[in-house]
Amino acid sequence: MRIEPFRMERLQSTYENYVDYNLSESGVQPMRARDLLQQAGGAEPFLSAELGYIQSNGTEELRDRIAAFYAGAVRDNVLVTNGGSEANYTAFWSLLERRDRVAFMLPNYLQAWGLARAFGSAADAFRLVPRREGNATRWALDVESLRRAVTRKTRVILVTNPNNPTGAILTEEEMEEIVRAARTSGAFIVADEIYRGAEISGTTTPTFWGRYDRVLITSGLSKAFGLPGLRIGWVVGPAALVKRLWSCRDYTTIAPAVLSDYLARIALEPERREAIFARTRSIIRTNLPVLESWMRARADVFGYVPPQAGAILFARYTLPLGSVALVETLRVEKSVLIVPGDQFGMARHIRIGFGSDTDYMRRGLARIDETLAGLPGKRRVARRGLSPEVRRAARGASS
């Protein structure tokens, strides 16, 4: 099987630990093992844990705690994976046959785009688009594009909600539109809900779980929980299908790491889970205004729709160079890493992560300013549509 490079992860994997300012992260400043252990019986039981294999789909206690985050779910609905990325990988590997098509929300984290084109036959984009409603603008579901993308050949509809990179949250009506499209075509919904819990409003985003019988939720501890280093993710779905996915994992990583499962059980205890979300939201609420005022002071260059969740801001810009070239210039000249919009399927955009320490972010932004000052005259750029890669795919270039 051939699989195209996952460009965004390649960029981050290669450079994120070698730049002075890494503003490419989408999560918040990570928690420490100590923060969790202090709240749950101290370090001793953790240090005494035997480093053996554990129950390979996750311990029963961990699966119970994950299930408690989804009304009506029980442990048999849950498979624990190594990160949200393995949850997506397992879901797509298990669901797709060679001729299947995937309807894919854009802009988006493009892991499942690559998986769809490798395991299935094609990915058909539907879009979130900026829409003015009252006196605010939000990223709204383009229902027409959803209707075009979902056909009888569609096996999976992929949504990321809250969305990466826009931080948008679907409305109830939009969620129902997606369920309706899935019902009509018989497709599965794979809902990547890894940013659920990181809402600025403080209200946890409604889940797709329970709205339709062919739903798989993929998620994990890396974003809203601020625990990416634990590499704990999960799939929640119908018990029989989850059992099938479990057997796929016999070929990937077999089981979660015992120490990660231990700490994940602490993080997912319902009251602690909410306290962790409160920490995440407080970081976001502190840093977003700083980034927004930086953006507003450069309104000749940047425009953006405010995010509703996540520590990420997706901005369009009017500079005379493509997003990959802009990001490369910032990295090479100023040792700052951000993510090009092209790697989410959108040209002439960048994503800036603001979940780090506030002063660190301010210093990173000051470096970006130095590059902006040195760039040739800005110009209005008419085309800000899909990235060239995605446009090629939409014209039918094969996977």
Ligand X SMILES: Cc1ncc(COP(=O)(O)O)c(C=O)c1O
- Distance between CA atoms of residues 119 and 165, nearest Å: 24
E strands in 60-110: 78-82, 101-106
- Distance between CA atoms of residues 109 and 149, nearest Å: 18
Q: Output the CA–CA distances (angstroms, integers) from residue 251 to 83, 192, 240, 248, 273, in the order listed.
A: 16, 22, 19, 6, 31
CB of 230 to ligand X, least distance (A): 9
* Closer residue to ligand X in complex, CB, 228/256: 228
* Closer residue to ligand X in complex, CB, 86/174: 86
CB of 335 to ligand X, least distance (A): 22
CB of 26 to ligand X, least distance (A): 5
The contact pattern for ligand X, residues 172-191, with x = CB under 6 A and - = no contact, is --------------------
Q: Which of residues 220-279 bind ligand X (CB under 6 A)?
A: 220, 222, 228, 233
Burial class of 98 by CB neighbour count within 10 A (0 to 12, 13 to 18, 19+): exposed
Q: What spatial distance separates the first Cα and last Cα of the chain, rounded to whole Å?
A: 11
Q: Which of residues 43-72 bind ligand X (CB under 6 A)?
A: none
Sort strands 339-340 and 302-304 into parallel, antiparallel or unpaired: unpaired
Q: Which of residues 6-35 bind ligand X (CB under 6 A)?
A: 26
For the chain, count helices (H), then strands (E). Answer: 14, 14
Q: Which part of the chain contacts ligand X (CB under 6 A), choosing from 78-86, 115-123, 301-309, 322-330?
A: 78-86
Q: Which of residues 89-128 bind ligand X (CB under 6 A)?
A: 109
85 contacts ligand X (rule: CB under 6 A): yes
* Closer residue to ligand X in complex, CB, 319/341: 341
Q: Which part of the chain contacts ligand X (CB under 6 A), choosing from 56-64, 82-90, 292-300, 363-371?
A: 82-90
Q: Which part of the chain contacts ligand X (CB under 6 A), choosing from 65-73, 79-87, 115-123, 315-323?
A: 79-87
The contact pattern for ligand X, residues 194-223, with x = CB under 6 A and - = no contact, is x-------------------------x-x-
280 three-state secondary structure: helix
Give the residue closest to ligand X by C-beta: 83
269 three-state secondary structure: coil
Amino acid occupying residue 47: L
Amino acid occupying residue 162: P
Rg for the chain, CA atoms, rounded: 21
E strands in 107-152: 122-133, 136-141
| 160, 161, 260, 308: which one binds ligand X (CB under 6 A) | 160
Interface with ligand X (CB under 6 A): 26, 83-85, 109, 160, 164, 192, 194, 220, 222, 228, 233
